[in-house]
């Protein structure tokens, strides 16, 4: 008889009764039975040809276990004999990296676990390997010692990240290829960006939800209710690196307060398009935003209902999608930028469904100039997002910045057209029922 365990995204077959070596193997065979692909340094694709393995994960995503298991493997395959263990503080190192449920003192077969001498801040494994504890609050403490492996935990919480990491890397000079594992919940700090720009960095990402099978259901429910759909939630639970860009017209904090839970009865609904001028896999996307308006005059609010942007479709393909979205949302009309396609856009849409009204929008100013008055409406609280639109918000966050031109902001441009039409061009007659 056996029992199937469902833990996270993977299933395990657990014999009804395990004893002795079988039970020990089931509990401690990390790579074969428990680890996800993002929790393994060697995922079967690129081996371990890296100098730094950077794990960006949400709270409870299993990144601490990943770091501890990597150290365990280095020790018991004799790949490392001297290991540096660096945490935001000595207390963090002891409570998380060593004595935590996923810490080095609590994983692996009992007979192979290290002993800890607190007075020396030193781990000693039965095979003679040694681990030394360091605090990022004291970067100079890393001067002098040398290692052939290191684990740095919660790097984004270090007091002196640049100095401590520099000294740590200078100490990684033993063995043929000393390696460093860094586990952290990401924050948009200069030090983390610097690490991401280094060569020979292997990047893994994980969210809290990826590890839900090992977390209390009440915890998952509570954090989802409290932080789901917020910028803090994307960072602390999703493990996403959310950057604030200097000069952005739409700072992340502004987008976060735009999130709303309810939508009133809408007076007008439109589908706004930013059509691409090319097709194929490498073409720009067709920005497609469904939005509505409630209220009149200065009391009017715009509600972003859906981001249904598509990429890689032919003109007929994205036109069919726009017509379908207009029907699903009950839109009054489709608003399309026609600078590039001219009357072709209207012709293609009307060929699919001649009953769908199409209104043309002409861009006479730059994307940034068109977006500025819309950003002011966000500041006034007059634009609301009905859910979290991650890709759309990432594009908005770059508008007005030096890096905005790296990728065409098709979603953001369609949103700008929609909000402009609904709140700034209010002299247009309603078309419902025409």
At 60 the pLDDT is 82
At 431 the pLDDT is 37
> Angle at CA 384, nearest 5°, toward 381 and 387?
145
Q: What is the pLDDT of residues 358-382, one digit of tens each?
A: 999 888 888 888 889 999 999 899 9
Task: Give the pLDDT mean for 6-34.
Answer: 56
Task: Give the pLDDT mean for 46-74.
Answer: 87
At 242, the pLDDT band (50, 70, 90 cuts) reads low
> Angle at CA 120, nearest 5°, toward 114 and 125?
15
Which burial class, exposed, middle or buried, applies to 187 when counting CB atoms under 10 A from its CB (0-12, 13-18, 19+)? middle
Question: How far is residue 428's CA from residue 331's CA, in Å, rounded to a whole number?
Answer: 15
Question: How far is residue 170's CA from residue 145's CA, in Å, rounded to a whole number?
Answer: 9
Can you spell out the DSSP letters for 360-380?
Answer: EE---S-HHHHHHHHHHHHHT
At 428, the pLDDT band (50, 70, 90 cuts) reads very low
At 228 the pLDDT is 67
Q: Count the alpha carbons within 13 Å of 198 in the hemisphere toward its beta carbon.
A: 19
Instruction: Indicate the helix (H) or strand (E) that contains 227.
Output: helix 217-227
Q: Count the alpha carbons within 13 Å of 98 in the hemisphere toward its beta carbon.
A: 25
At 279 the pLDDT is 64
Task: Please answer whether residues 114 and 104 qualify as being in contact, where contact means their C-beta atoms are separated by less than 8 angstroms.
Answer: yes
Q: What is the pLDDT of residues 121-163, one digit of tens each?
A: 999 999 999 999 999 999 999 998 999 999 999 999 999 999 9
249 pLDDT more than 60: yes
Q: Among the ranges 285-294, 311-320, 333-342, which has the highest mean pLDDT value? A: 285-294
At 55 the pLDDT is 93
109 pLDDT more than 90: no
At 426, the pLDDT band (50, 70, 90 cuts) reads low
Radius of gyration of the chain (CA): 27
At 368 the pLDDT is 83
Tokens of 89: 């503080």
At 402, the pLDDT band (50, 70, 90 cuts) reads low
Q: What is the pLDDT of residues 257-284, one digit of tens each?
A: 898 989 999 999 999 999 887 666 667 7
Task: Give the pLDDT mean for 187-203.
Answer: 87
At 21 the pLDDT is 52
At 340 the pLDDT is 65
Residues 6+ apart with CB under 8 A from 325: 271, 288, 290, 306, 308, 331
Which burial class, exposed, middle or buried, applies to 184 when counting CB atoms under 10 A from its CB (0-12, 13-18, 19+)? buried
Q: How many helices (H) and strands (E) does the chain have?
A: 13, 17
At 213, the pLDDT band (50, 70, 90 cuts) reads confident
At 267 the pLDDT is 95
Q: Among the ranges 55-69, 130-144, 188-202, 400-414, which has the highest mean pLDDT value? A: 130-144
Task: Tally the residues of the chain.
Answer: 434
Q: Where are the alpha helices (DSSP H) in 268-388?
A: 315-329, 343-352, 367-379
Strand partners, 169: none
Q: Among the ranges 16-30, 185-199, 390-404, which has the highest mean pLDDT value? A: 185-199
SS3 395: helix
At 190 the pLDDT is 80
Instruction: Indicate the helix (H) or strand (E) that contains 163.
Output: helix 161-171
Does 343 or 347 have the greater pLDDT score? 347
- The owner of tokens 């065979």 is 29
Q: Which of 56, 80, 57 is nearest to 70 (CA)?
A: 80
At 338 the pLDDT is 83
Q: Tell me phi and psi for residue 137, to 5 degrees.
A: -75, -15
227 pLDDT more than 80: no
Tokens of 14: 């657990």
Phi-psi domain of 31 (left: phi exceeds 0; alpha: psi -120 through 50; beta: other): alpha
Q: Within a 10 A sphere around the Cβ of 76, how many other Cβ atoms? A: 16
SS3 249: coil
> Angle at CA 400, nearest 5°, toward 343 and 250?
100
Q: Which of 292, 344, 293, 339 is nearest to 318 (CA)?
A: 344
Question: How far is residue 424's CA from residue 20's CA, in Å, rounded to a whole number?
Answer: 73
pLDDT mean across residues, the chain: 84
Phi-psi domain of 247 (left: phi exceeds 0; alpha: psi -120 through 50; beta: other): left
Task: Give the pLDDT mean for 95-119.
Answer: 92
Question: How far is residue 209's CA from residue 220's CA, in Å, rounded to a whole number?
Answer: 8
Give me the domains of the chain, ranges plus CATH numbers. 1-34 (no CATH), 45-214 (3.40.50.300), 252-424 (3.30.420.240)
Tokens of 344: 């072709």
Residues of the chain above pLDDT 90, percent: 50
Task: Give the pLDDT mean for 99-103.
Answer: 91
390 pLDDT more than 80: yes
Task: Please answer whether residues 292 and 268 qualify as being in contact, where contact means their C-beta atoms are separated by less than 8 angstroms.
Answer: yes
Task: Give the pLDDT mean for 173-194.
Answer: 89
| Cα-Cα-Cα-Cα dihedral sign, residues 412, 416, 419, 421 | negative
At 244 the pLDDT is 63
Task: Give the pLDDT mean for 7-26.
Answer: 51
355 pLDDT more than 80: yes
């Amino acid at each position: 008889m056996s029992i199937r365990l469902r833990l996270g995204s993977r299933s395990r077959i657990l014999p009804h009764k395990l004893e002795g070596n079988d039970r020990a193997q089931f509990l401690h065979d990390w790579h074969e039975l428990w680890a996800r692909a993002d929790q393994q340094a060697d995922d079967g694709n690129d081996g371990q040809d890296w100098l730094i393995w950077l794990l960006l994960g949400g709270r409870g995503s299993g990144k601490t276990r990943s770091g501890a298991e990597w150290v365990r493997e280095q020790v018991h395959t004799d790949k490392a004999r001297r290991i540096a263990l660096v945490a935001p503080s000595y207390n963090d190192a002891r409570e998380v990296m060593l004595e935590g449920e996923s810490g080095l003192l609590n994983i692996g077969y009992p007979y192979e676990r290290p002993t800890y001498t607190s007075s020396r801040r030193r781990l000693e494994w039965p095979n003679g390997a040694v681990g030394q504890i360091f605090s990022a609050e004291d970067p100079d403490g890393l001067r002098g010692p040398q290692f052939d492996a290191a684990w740095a935990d919660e790097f984004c919480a270090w007091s002196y990240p640049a100095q401590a990491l520099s000294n740590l890397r200078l100490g990684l000079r033993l063995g043929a290829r000393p390696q460093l594992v860094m586990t952290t919940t990401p924050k948009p700090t200069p030090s983390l960006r610097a690490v991401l720009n280094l060569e020979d960095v292997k990047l893994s990402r994980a969210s809290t939800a990826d590890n839900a099978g090992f977390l209390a259901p009440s915890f998952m429910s509570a954090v989802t209710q409290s932080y789901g759909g917020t910028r803090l939630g994307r960072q602390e639970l999703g493990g996403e690196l959310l950057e604030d860009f200097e000069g952005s017209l739409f700072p992340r904090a502004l987008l976060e307060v735009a999130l709303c839970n309810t939508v009133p009865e809408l007076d007008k609904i439109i589908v706004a398009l930013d059509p691409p001028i090319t097709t194929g896999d490498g073409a720009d996307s067709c920005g497609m935003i469904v939005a509505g308006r409630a209220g009149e005059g200065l009391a009017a609010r715009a509600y972003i209902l859906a981001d249904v942007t598509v990429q890689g479709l032919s003109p007929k393909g994205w036109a069919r999608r726009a017509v379908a979205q207009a029907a699903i949302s009950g839109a009054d009309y489709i608003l399309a930028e026609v600078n590039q396609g001219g009357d072709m856009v209207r012709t293609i849409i009307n060929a699919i469904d001649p009953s769908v009204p199409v209104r043309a929008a002409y861009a006479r100013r730059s994307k940034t100039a068109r977006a500025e008055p819309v950003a002011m409406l966000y500041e006034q609280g007059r634009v609301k997002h009905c859910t979290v639109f991650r890709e759309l918000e990432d594009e908005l966050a770059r508008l007005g910045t030096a890096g905005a031109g790296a990728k065409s902001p098709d979603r953001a441009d369609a949103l700008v057209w929609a909000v402009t039409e609904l709140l700034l061009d209010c002299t247009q007659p309603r078309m419902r029922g025409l």
